[in-house]
Chains A and B, each alone.
Chain A
Amino acid sequence: MVKTNKQLIMKKFVLLIFMSFFLINCGKDPVVTKTELSVEAKQIIPYTINEIINWKDQAGTLHTGKVSWIKTNRYILSSSDEIFDNEEIETNIDFETFRFVIKQRSTTDPNKVSYTFEYVVNNKIETVFDMYDMPLNAFRNIVYQDQNYYNVVIARSYSYNGDAPVLLMFSKTKGIEYVQFYTSKWFKISN
């Protein structure tokens, strides 16, 4: 079949559009910024592998969990002109019916870290708490519901799901110390 002039022009036109897209998106190489967690930041991971964790809930029931893994990953954030290659330490605590995953990530400022806490039920992430660019000296003492908590930061989730955690207290020395749900349900570390 012989192509007409019109068809050939049309083909060139479509080719030109594709090439334009290709050229626009293939400009300069993105700048890569690689960051690592500082020694001080790594000390704020108070868990050890296979450690047994005991929490009690509002009904007095004991929940026993285990630190099943602590692993180091690279956490890559990229845009068209910049790539952030950050170090991430991921800690997993398995309980019988749920688990918590704690991710600590380096930032461009060695005196700051970012945290993600995930509440996972049936392998589905139910709630995510994020804390970005938190100064390492942000941990402090507070009184909450007439109880003293020492050296903590607090992550919040603004979920209004009936059975979702809304507040998570993370201690510099004890790890997750308290989790308050939207309802009256809570978990608290039990020594």
Chain B
Amino acid sequence: MKKILICLIIVISLSSCNPCDPYEIRRNLITETNKDFFLEQQRTDTYINEKGENIKIVFSQGKTTLEKISDDHDCGYYTYERIEQEFSFNNYLGRITIGNGAMNIDLSDYVVVNNNSVYGNQISELSELETDVNIAGFTFTNVLKLDQENTIDHAIWDIETIIYSKERGIEFILFRNQTWLKLTNN
């Protein structure tokens, strides 16, 4: 009986044995100026489509989390700050993610998978990517233009462009068939 207990203790000790102490290699936080683009509050925004119909988009409360990613060959790990917010309309489920100098919007239903994003080489501030856009007869100033990235073989997508502003979030969605959704002022 004593031997069994000793064996148990050895097995537990060995399985919980840590060969080295974990340490943080680098911490990648999102700057406050990039966080300014994050409209994290839960809300329902009203959009109008090309037929004049109202469409509601429901945004859930956004989340900011710290994620640890281990280095494969060492006890070190990287810490990444992650900002994301989910939203939905009709059968679409979407997610907005913000990084330093990059924004990504995934939007899919049970048919298509869209991946619209904006980023720049050597650019770490989203404000540097703001531009004026003329699209489908509308003009937007100081906005981010997120283009479709999911154009690999066999990809099935239906959103060409999403326009996003720091003040109001998703301003405009242009679908591939040239239909659209535009944020109203309500």
Contacts and interface: CB of A to CB of B under 8 A. Distances in A.
B4 interface: yes
A4 to B, nearest CB: 10
A160 to B, nearest CB: 12
Contact of A14 (B1, B112, B154, B156): B1
Given A137-B91, A144-B156, A7 B1 contact: yes
Interface string B2-13: 101100000000
A154 B91 CA distance: 13
How would you classify the secondary structure of chain B's contact residues: helix, strand, loop or mixed?
A: loop
How would you classify the secondary structure of chain A's contact residues: helix, strand, loop or mixed?
A: strand
Interface string A157-169: 0000000001100
A13 B8 CA distance: 13
B4 A14 contact: yes
Contacts of B2: 6, 10
A119 to B, nearest CB: 15
A180 interface: yes
A102 to B, nearest CB: 15
B113 interface: yes
B154 A138 contact: no
A167 B157 CA distance: 13
A14 B111 contact: no
23 contacts: A10-B1, A11-B1, A13-B5, A14-B5, A134-B110, A135-B91, A135-B110, A137-B91, A138-B109, A138-B110, A138-B111, A140-B111, A142-B111, A142-B156, A144-B156, A152-B111, A153-B110, A154-B110, A154-B112, A166-B154, A167-B154, A167-B156, A180-B154
A63 interface: no
A84 to B, nearest CB: 21
Interface string B134-158: 0000000000000000000010101
A10 B111 CA distance: 62
A131 B110 contact: yes
A153 B111 contact: yes
A140 to B, nearest CB: 6
A58 B2 CA distance: 69
A142 B112 contact: yes
Given A14-B1, A135-B91, A152-B111, 6 more contacts: A135-B110, A137-B91, A140-B109, A144-B156, A153-B111, A166-B154
A17 B40 CA distance: 48
Contacts of A140: 109, 111
Interface residues of A, number: 21
A156 interface: yes
B125 to A, nearest CB: 33
Contact of A10 (B5, B113, B156): B5
A154 B111 contact: yes
A86 B143 CA distance: 47
Nearest to A11: B1
A7 B2 CA distance: 8
Nearest to A170: B110
Nearest to A182: B154
Contacts of A137: 91
Nearest to A9: B1
A134 B109 CA distance: 9
Nearest to B91: A138
Contacts of B4: 14
